[in-house]
Chains A and B, each alone.
Chain A
Amino acid sequence: MIGLDTADLMVIAGGVMDCDSGTALAQADISAADDALAQAGVAGRAGAPGEARLHPAEAADAAIALTDALLQHPPFPAHREQIAVAAGLQFLAVNGWQAYLDVPGAAVVVIERLAAGQLTPAQAASWLVAHLFPDPGLDSGPGHPRARPPTTKFPVTLITRAVRRRYRRRRYLSPFLISIRPGGGSITTMVTGPLAFTGHASKALGLARRESSRLGRLRGPEHILLGLIDAGDGLAVKALKRLGVRPDAVHEQVDQLTDQPADYPPEMVAPQTRRVWHAVADEAFARGDDYIGTEHFLFALFCDHDNAAAQILTRLGAGEREVRAAVAELLAETGRERSA
């Protein structure tokens, strides 16, 4: 294992704060950095010659331990979470792993819950390991562990294998989407088993299918948005109402979309929709929820800011930040703070 030292943290902090490392050093609480590195057990730089790349579970455990320690002992309190995350990612990188956190909103929730003690380091590491991929450029740098040829495997294949290995070892697994069965009322993951949809979420999905059929278009995130709106009484629609989003305004904007030719078979799903589905499971797990509600779909629509649903909501004054805040308020008011 290649660890990090105080000097590394200063360089990382300089990158995050967009300043010279010397300036970062002048602002640093060195003793906090020292405490964090000692607590995480990753201090020191040298890896053993010829040492193999860390197992992904070990890499995730160590990266989260470092992130958690820097959250508890922040050398730069004003940038606590950013530097803790950057250090964790850098630790992974120097050890030959890349983290693909393609649902940043869910990653933020994981970090916030870890910082608040609502998520244990083991749980956070379990989430992280499902997002790790070998760095194809591993052999390009000096002092790195054993090089491996760049992989040509599709990332999902790599995740599946990693999860299966852990499954065989009877270790706690990260949620990994292996099949999506909206018709059956659940998302199946290898880890948690079926995550049941709430009644409103099921209804919204049925309405989304109906809307895409009516419009004769690929089933896109905008149809999921219409489904959420038309479902009437879910948490998502309550949050949107609180933000002043009128259902007819959403319908009007979706109807005006002309970037797709009409007359697609109604069962065809747009690529952006598949990303939303993956993000839904990530959002639920990040919050420790054992169900899929309309709020998870609403958050997941922002996994890709280029999709029509995210753009429509943002234009109507309900951007990702506003939506998350509105849902958190509603959950707090109804006594479901844990999910917020």
Chain B
Amino acid sequence: MVLRLDPALAERLAAVAEVEGRTVTDVAREAIAALVEARRNDKHFRRLLEDNLARHRRLFDLLGEDSS
């Protein structure tokens, strides 16, 4: 996984990984997973997403057919 991080953050991430005996990739992925979980609980964001997916169902079906 390649991520663009500012040097200070990259250094902290490497330090956490070293202390915990894990790879930087694992630590980064876990951090993103925590953020994803928090975002998944954002009801407003989810409502907008569900509305969009429902309103454009046919468009997504057509795009899905094209990529399959």
Contact assessment for B29 and A93 in the assembled complex, using a CB-CB cutoff below 8 Å: no
Q: Is A81 an interface residue (CB 8 A)?
A: yes
B41 CB to nearest chain A CB (Å): 10
A15 contacts B35, CB within 8 Å? no
Q: Mark the stretch among A104-112, A147-155, A238-246 that contacts chain B.
A: A104-112
Q: Is the CB of B52 within 8 A of A86?
A: yes
A8 in contact with B44 (CB, 8 Å): no
Q: Which of B40-64 contact A (CB under 8 A)?
A: 40, 44-53, 55-56, 58-60, 62-64
Which one of A22, A31, A94, A99 contacts B33 once the chains associate, using CB atoms below 8 Å?
A22
The interface residues of chain A, by DSSP majority, are classed as helix
Size range of the chain A interface in the assembly: 35 or more
Contacts A85-B60, A108-B59 aside, 4 further interface pairs with beta carbons under 8 A come to A101-B56, A101-B59, A104-B62, A140-B44
| Cβ of A82 under 8 Å from chain B | yes
Across the interface, which residues of B come within 8 angstroms of A81, CB to CB? Answer: 63, 66-67
Closest CB of chain B to A31's CB: distance in Å? 4
Give the CA-CA distance A15 to B56 in the complex, in Å: 13
In the complex, B2 has a CB within 8 A of chain A: yes
Do A108 and B48 have beta carbons less than 8 Å apart? Answer: no
A-B contact pairs, 29 of them (CB 8 A): A6-B35, A10-B39, A11-B40, A11-B46, A11-B49, A12-B49, A15-B46, A15-B49, A21-B37, A21-B39, A30-B3, A34-B2, A34-B3, A34-B4, A79-B64, A81-B66, A85-B63, A86-B52, A86-B60, A90-B52, A94-B48, A99-B56, A101-B56, A104-B56, A105-B62, A108-B62, A141-B44, A141-B47, A321-B62
Across-interface contacts of B66 in A (CB, < 8 A): 81, 108, 112
List residues of chain B with CB within 8 A of the CB of A38.
Answer: 4
Residue of B nearest to A45 (CB): B39
Output the least CB separation between B36 and chain A (Å).
5
List residues 15-46 of chain B with CB under 8 A from any CB of chain A: 28-29, 32-33, 35-40, 44-46
Q: Please, what's the 1-or-0 string for A125-149, where 1 marks a CB less than 8 Å from any CB in chain B?
A: 0000000000000001111100000
